[in-house]
Structure formats: structure tokens, C-alpha cells
């Protein structure tokens, strides 16, 4: 299905499957190389995903909204929201793995962030909470705050709107080391002793 500035939002929100959006231009050679790969993957996973295409000439506002400044750009939407994607050409197996991970409840962006948190914790002499439900809840909250406020503010603290004050609660917040030393965990339980 072809999307443009007029139908983009409605079509994306009306899907109950993952939506792969291929931003392309007719003059773009890499776009032409990626298109059959996306079509093959979408066909093989048709019960789980739907492929939609956006010609940049027909959707300059939409491209601007999603910061599409290079093509091909692929953005994957779930429940009307962008959750991951890539720029350039990717091979079939990488695209399938990405989509299957999402379908199976693994958000690749969140998984990457969890790994960054794990590495940060180890480098600081503490640990990432081993309870995956807790880490998933906190990381989901961080990404929700990023969507809402533009920064990964700790989901267990109140965002005031004062940029200077709120800078202290960007994860890892200014308080986490003292809380771990005192209580054995940070306030939101993402990091533990």
C-alpha cells in the first residue's frame, strides 16, 4: 500500500499487525535494491506484518516528522507508534530476525538499551536487576518518558518541566549511586548492589 501525507496516520493506526514502512524515492538505486527484499519478507510473514511504502515526493511532511533525511529508511510501527527501524540496505535474515523479535515480545531498541544499562552497571561496580519484569517495566517507562518529554527521565520520579532540575533525573539519575549504597538498589530498582 502506498502512503502519503494525507493517509499516513490513518492507515498506520488502523493496522493490527506490525507495519513496515519503506521510505523511498523512484530515483534511489539502493531503494530499488531493498524493495524486493522487504516484499519477500513481508510476504513470508504476512500473518504478522504488513508492508507500506512512502514515496518521499508524496509525503514531505511525514518524512520530516520522522526525521527521514536518508533513503532508504525503514521504520517499523506497532500500535501506531514507531518502535525501531534502519537506514540503508539490510539483508533478508536481519530483517526477519528484527521482526520476529518484535512479534515475540522483544523490542530490539529496548534490548540494546538493557545491554547498555548492564554494561554501565558492571563498570560502576553494581548490577542490573536480574528480575526481567522489573527491568522491562523501568526501560519501557524510560522510553515512554522519552516520547513524551524528549529525555529518558526516570519513570519513578516526577518530571517538573524545569530543565535544570529534571536533568538530575535522566537515567542513570544523579541519585542512583547514593541510593544503591544506602538501600542496595536505586529508587526504581533498575540498578542493584
pLDDT at 109 over 80: no
pLDDT at 111 over 80: no
What whole-number distance in Å separates Cα of residue 133 and Cα of residue 114? 12
Task: Convert 85-108 to b/e letters by CB count within 10 Å (16 or more is b).
Answer: bbeeebeeeebbebbeebeeeebb
Are 114 and 97 in the same domain?
A: no
What whole-number distance in Å separates Cα of residue 67 and Cα of residue 13? 19
Say which of 31, 154, 186, 188 is annotated catalytic.
31
Are 113 and 95 in the same domain?
A: no
- High-pLDDT (> 70) share of the chain, %: 97
pLDDT tens by residue, 126-184: 999 888 888 888 888 888 888 778 888 998 888 898 889 999 999 898 999 999 999 99
Are 98 and 134 in the same domain?
A: no
The number of domains in the chain is 2
28 is a catalytic site residue? yes
pLDDT at 117 over 80: yes
Are 94 and 126 in the same domain?
A: no
What pTM does this model have? Answer: 0.59
Q: What pLDDT does residue 33 have?
A: 95
Q: What phi, psi does 114 have (nearest 5°)?
A: -60, -40
Domain boundary among 80, 103, 126: 103
Domain boundary among 103, 124, 143: 103
**CATH number of the domain where residue 50 is located:** 3.40.30.10
31 is a catalytic site residue? yes
pLDDT tens by residue, 17-46: 999 999 999 999 999 999 999 999 999 999
Domain region containing 181: 108-192
Amino acid at each position: 500500500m502506498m502512503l502519503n501525507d494525507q493517509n499516513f496516520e490513518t492507515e498506520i493506526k488502523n493496522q493490527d499487525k506490525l507495519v513496515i514502512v519503506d521510505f523511498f524515492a523512484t530515483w534511489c538505486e539502493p531503494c530499488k535494491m531493498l524493495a524486493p527484499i522487504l516484499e519477500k519478507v513481508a510476504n513470508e510473514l504476512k500473518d504478522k506484518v504488513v508492508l507500506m511504502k512512502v514515496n518521499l515526493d508524496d509525503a514531505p511532511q511525514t518524512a520530516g516528522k520522522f526525521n527521514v533525511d536518508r533513503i532508504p529508511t525503514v521504520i517499523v510501527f506497532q500500535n501506531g507508534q514507531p518502535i525501531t527501524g534502519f537506514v540503508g540496505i539490510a539483508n533478508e535474515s536481519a530483517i526477519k530476525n528484527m521482526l520476529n523479535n518484535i512479534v515475540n515480545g522483544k523490542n530490539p531498541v529496548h534490548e540494546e538499551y538493557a545491554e547498555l544499562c548492564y554494561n554501565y552497571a558492571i563498570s560502576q561496580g553494581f548490577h542490573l536487576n536480574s528480575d526481567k519484569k522489573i527491568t522491562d517495566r523501568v526501560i519501557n517507562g524510560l522510553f515512554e518518558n522519552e516520547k513524551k518529554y524528549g529525555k529518558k527521565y526516570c519513570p519513578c520520579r516526577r518530571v517538573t518541566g524545569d530543565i535544570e532540575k529534571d536533568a538530575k533525573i535522566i537515567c542513570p539519575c544523579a541519585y542512583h549511586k547514593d541510593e544503591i549504597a544506602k538501600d542496595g538498589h536505586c529508587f526504581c530498582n533498575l540498578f542493584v548492589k
